[in-house]
Amino acid sequence: MQLFDELKTLGQKHIKADKKASQKVPSGLWQACPKCHQSFYYKDLGQYKTCPNCHYGFRITARERLGWLTDHFEEMDSDLATTDPLNFPNYGKKLEKARHLTKLNDSVLTGKALINEQPVMLGIMDPYFIMGSLGTITGEKLTRLFEKALKEKLPVILCTASGGARMQEGIFSLMQMAKVSAAVKRHADAGLLYIAVLTDPTTGGVTASFAMQADITLAEPRALIGFAGKRVIEQTTFQRIPDDLQDAESVQHHGFVDQIVPREDLKEKLAWLLKFHQVKEVTHG
């Protein structure tokens, strides 16, 4: 017990020392990788915000990803706003905060983009907008993205990042899963290409719908990809689950991810795939 007491005292001393130090040293200079737990000077993460040790891609806003992924972008449906169908207490304030933080009207950024001069309908979900949760506007923007792609005969690329359904919109959030799925199907039936890029985290209702409906499914290294949350699994089954059960690498091992692509290579990989699918017929001889 004495040992624990000593540790406690040491701990407290440490906190006091930290308090003084924090006034002199600005926060955020050192960032710890949530996957391999190593700390890095923030500049070492580079423009792509990836871990130099394990290549995990840190969570970034949709607009930040847009910056290095595309050469040109025309945004769509940035004026839509949710009707707050359940009249959920304090939801308005939460939305306001999320909009301010992400500069988006809801949890996905959609539009027509050029990637290495190739046109594509692009959606990027934002993990900082209420955890990238699937609200009615998220679903509406995605549905319109696939509908426009169908009309213009263009491929769709979707970067997913989501904690799942938007609790504050109840059953209307659930209905988005069916709505977007139907739009994906119509796009697919027209012979058009859909590529999903699963980023950290892709879970719940998003995994159980459009994230898992693509022709080609890419994922970022060590991204969390799953259906149920770890805590829910452990509480339901009374089993401890391994930390890497829902890592992109495990999901690939079980056959649900085509390829793991480090963020630095993503643009080139997507450009290659887009180009590959444009070649329709080759005459030989």
Partner 1 sequence: MASLLDRKKTAAQVVALARSDEKIAASALLKGIFTDFTELHGDQEGADDSAIIGGLAYLAEQPVTVIATNKGQTTEEKMQTHFGCPEPAGYRKALRLAKQAAKFNRPVICLVNTAGAYPGKSAEENGQGEAIARNLLELSTLPTPIISIIYGEGGSGGALALACGDRIWMLENSTYSVLSPEGFAAILWKDSSRAAEAAEVLQLTPEKLLQQKVIEGIIPESHSQRRLCRAIRKVIIAEMEQLQRLKPAELLEQRHLRFRKF
Binding site for partner 1 (CB under 8 A): 85-86, 88-89, 136, 139, 143, 165, 167-179, 181-182, 184-186, 188-189, 204-205, 207-213, 226-229, 232-233, 236-237, 239, 241, 245-246, 250, 254-256
Q: How far is the CB of 32 from partner 1 (least distance, A)?
A: 25
Within 8 A by CB and 6+ apart from 198, the residues are: 160, 211, 217, 218, 219, 220, 223, 225, 248, 257
DSSP string, 91-111: HHHHHHHHHHHHSSSSSEEEE
CB of residue 254 to partner 1, shortest distance in Å: 5
Q: Smallest distance, Å, CB 226 to partner 1? A: 6
- Nearer Cβ to partner 1 (7/182): 182
Report how far residue 164's alpha carbon sits from residue 170's, in angstroms, rounded to the nearest whole number.
12
* C-beta of residue 29 within 8 angstroms of C-beta of residue 44: no
Shortest spacing between CB 55 and partner 1, in angstroms: 23
Q: How, if at all, do strands 259-260 and 216-219 pair?
A: parallel
Please report the beta strands in the chain, taking only residues with DSSP state E, as ranges in sequence order.
30-32, 39-41, 72-75, 108-115, 118-125, 156-162, 194-202, 216-219, 259-260
Which residue, 80 or 233, is less far from partner 1 as judged by CB?
233
- Range 260-275 burial, b when 16+ CB lie within 10 A, else e: bbebeebbebbbebbe
Rank residues 115 and 165 by Cβ distance to partner 1 and give the closer one: 165
Query: By C-alpha distance, which of 23, 42, 22 is closest to 32?
Result: 42
Question: Shortest gap between Cβ of 260 and partner 1 (angstroms)?
Answer: 17
Closest to partner 1 by CB, 113 or 123: 123
* CA 106 distance to own-chain centroid: 14
**Residue whose CB is less far from partner 1, 110 or 246:** 246
159 among the known binding-site residues?
Answer: no
The verdict on whether residue 54 carries a ligand-binding annotation is yes
Helices (H) then strands (E): counts for the chain: 9, 9
Smallest distance from partner 1 to CB 168, Å: 8
Q: How far is the CB of 237 from partner 1 (least distance, A)?
A: 5
Nearer to partner 1, 17 or 175 (CB): 175
* Distant-in-sequence contacts of 27-31, Cβ < 8 A, 24+ apart: 31/58
From CA 188, how far away is CA 146, in angstroms rounded? Answer: 9
Query: Which amino acids are annotated as binding site for Zn(2+), given as ranges?
Result: 33, 36, 51, 54
Query: Which amino acids are annotated as binding site, given as ranges?
Result: 33, 36, 51, 54
